[in-house]
Amino acid sequence: MLWTQDIFQLSAALHYVLETWLLFCVFEKIQVKKLQDKVEKCRKDVEATRERYKQSLTELNSYNAKYIEDMTEVFQRTQEFEHRRLVFIKKILYDLLACIDLTQYKA
């Protein structure tokens, strides 16, 4: 009788282990599927982001010529302004020098 109880308990334990193992396998397959779906979604997101990045670069590069032209114009205007400023300062300083130069006047 003892060995029949042992066999019955062993059979119950084996049944429990098999059920647990099957549940684990199913759970593992579900988890793997979820992870695969997540990986695929991330790949699609990466590809979409890469395309938007390339499109942004192309758009940005199309503005380079206009930017260079505009900045050249700004540089030229700044150079002209600086030239006029220097001429003005020289004129003022020479006029000031003429006013305070006592060697021009005969006593």
Look at residue 78 in the predicted model and tell me its pLDDT: 98
1 pLDDT band, cuts 50/70/90, is low
Q: What is the mean pLDDT of residues 14-20?
A: 85
Q: pTM here?
A: 0.50
Q: Which helix (H) or strand (E) holds 34?
A: helix 2-62
> SS3 for 84-103, per residue?
HHHHHHHHHHHHHHHHHCHH
User: Do the beta carbons of residue 98 and residue 104 sit within 8 Å?
Assistant: yes
Task: Tell me which of 39-43, 44-48, 92-96 is least confident.
Answer: 92-96
Q: Where are the domains of the chain?
A: 1-60, 63-107
Q: Which two tokens stand for residue 51?
A: 């395309």
